[in-house]
Amino acid sequence: GAVVSQHPSWVICKSGTSVKIECRSLDFQATTMFWYRQFPKQSLMLMATSNEGSKATYEQGVEKDKFLINHASLTLSTLTVTSAHPEDSSFYICSASTWRGGYTFGSGTRLTVV
């Protein structure tokens, strides 16, 4: 089945630094990748949608310059949290749409900014 590998699974960084999260589709080509943010015991909030080779589409209220998304190939999409601050601490999940019309989710990244 379709698998999305997300790394790292957890990361701790200092305030002001940048962190990159990678999502790779292992056995299929992910034309579209979705990036979500989830706070504890809350729902998944869509941050942006990225399509291979084009600029990401950000949801209202999401800072484009803080959350940089790159989808340079059909198997790799990255989310970079720039100049991270404690309020950026959260759980980030990627999801790729598959040819079957379904979705495959990465295992998530827990980001803690100290």
Partner 1 sequence: AQTVTQSQPEMSVQEAETVTLSCTYDTSESDYYLFWYKQPPSRQMILVIRQEAYKQQNATENRFSVNFQKAAKSFSLKISDSQLGDAAMYFCAYRTGTGSSNTGKLIFGQGTTLQVKP
Which of 42, 63, 64, 73 is in the footprint of partner 1 by CB under 8 A?
42
Residue 14 vs 43, nearer CB to partner 1: 43
C-alpha span between 58 and 12 (Å, rounded): 25
In the chain, the amino acid numbered 112 is: T
Angle (CA) 53 59 60, round 5°: 140
Q: How many residues lie near partner 1 (CB under 8 A)?
A: 23
Using CB under 8 A, list all residues that contact partner 1.
Answer: 31-32, 34, 38, 41-44, 46, 49, 51, 91, 93, 95, 97-99, 101-103, 105, 107-108
